[in-house]
Chain A
Amino acid sequence: MLHSIYAIFMSRKPKEQLEKVGIAVEFFREKAGLGRKELADLVNVHYQTIGYIERGEYAPSLILALKLANALEVEVEQLFWLEENQ
């Protein structure tokens, strides 16, 4: 019974969604000459959050995506886009 409860509660969800999203935050951040901490301060998030976004491990909200685009002076579609196969 215990292993069934564990299996139901703790099963890992596949990380599919993020793998199909293109991300260019790191490229434009470096192009803008900003460190993660500096960009994080500009968009009011913790610096680790920038790292998670750049590695594709966290999908930002629409508001945060727009703030990032604004801070890096690019269009939001240049930072995030859907991959061809979707």
Chain B
Amino acid sequence: MNELIVIAVVLATLSLAYLWVYPTYAGRNVTLMSYMDIGATFIPAGVAALLFWQSDPVFNFFGLELNWFFYSILAYVVIEIPVFILYVKARGLWPEYKAIFSSNSSNEYGWGASAKNVEKSLSEDKWNGLRTKGALRFLIWGSNITLLGGTVLLSTTPESTAVFYLPIHILLIFVFWFLLRKSVRLVADAPEKALDERLLELRNRSYLWAYMWLAAIAYLVATSVLIWAVWMDFNTTEDLWFYPVEISWGQINALFWLIAGYTFALPSMALASYKLKYDMVD
């Protein structure tokens, strides 16, 4: 019975996605459609979380026993395959998909931004409100507070609270990532083809900054683990070689979204900081 509920949610999500959202908002932009699809994959999991988090029943997937999370993801992926093939075939989108994976794709598609989208973004003024000094500062601080604060919140609150905050946390990460990308006109995620030599230099510099930030964060995390291990040694009479670590589902999520969030947003965040530091605001 529980399996049928999840399958019904999957079918409803797929109907909405393929009959309304993708044709209306993505059109022939398969990159955008892919992002939307990744988001849609987690909708049944989110609904299943609300329904089955507490009771945690066993789901049967052709003899395989799974929990609600893996069952809803697997059910979505399996049911989606024929729907996806039919949709792409019916709309003649194969050339666009092939282009993403072709050998020339690094020149055509950057980190989730196509040359066409970047060129469009470079000439639009619709999002200029996000390109002021104040807005850039707000976006940098906001995304960092969301990522770090959300991680602390998810790690420290009880599971029952974490399950409600998790979708909000994920949504906030994506909203800040979207706004950050708009604020730097997609330059940080752009393919080479779409940029002139100055913008290319700017993009490459932002990656250098992003790498340095990431290196600093990784170094701090590694140092903290080392300090924690030494501290554990001082607080016990035994000579510890293995360290017991207990980690909850909420903490795993917190860690995953911390890394994923910074992976997505760091290049744009670094570019926004670089522009602020060197007074290069549009």
Contacts and interface: CB of A to CB of B under 8 A. Distances in A.
B216 A9 contact: yes
Nearest to A63: B197
Interface in A52-72: 52, 57-58, 60-61, 64
Contact of A49 (B198, B278, B282): B198
Contacts of B198: 45-46, 48-49, 52, 58, 60
Nearest to B194: A46
Contacts, number: 28
B230 interface: no
A12 B197 contact: no
A52 B199 CA distance: 11
Contacts of B239: none
Nearest to A40: B196
B212 interface: yes
A5 B280 CA distance: 24
Nearest to A5: B216
A44 interface: yes
A44 B195 CA distance: 10
Identify which of B197, B212, B278 gathers the most chain A CB atoms within 10 Å of its CB: B197
A45 to B, nearest CB: 4
B199 A49 contact: yes
Contacts of B145: none
A46 B199 contact: yes
A60 B201 CA distance: 11
B212 A46 contact: no
Contacts of A12: 277-278
A48 B131 CA distance: 14
B282 to A, nearest CB: 7
Nearest to B198: A49
A64 B197 CA distance: 9
A5 B198 CA distance: 28
Contacts of B12: none
B189 to A, nearest CB: 16
Interface in A18-37: none
Contacts of B199: 46, 49
Contact of A60 (B122, B197, B280, B282): B197
Contacts of A49: 196-199
A23 B198 CA distance: 17
A10 B199 CA distance: 20
Interface string B36-66: 0000000000000000000000000000000
B34 to A, nearest CB: 27
Identify which of B122, B196, B212 gathers the most chain A CB atoms within 10 Å of its CB: B196
Interface of B: 122, 195-199, 212, 216, 277-278, 280, 282
6 A-B pairs closest in CB distance: A45-B196, A49-B198, A9-B212, A58-B198, A46-B196, A49-B196
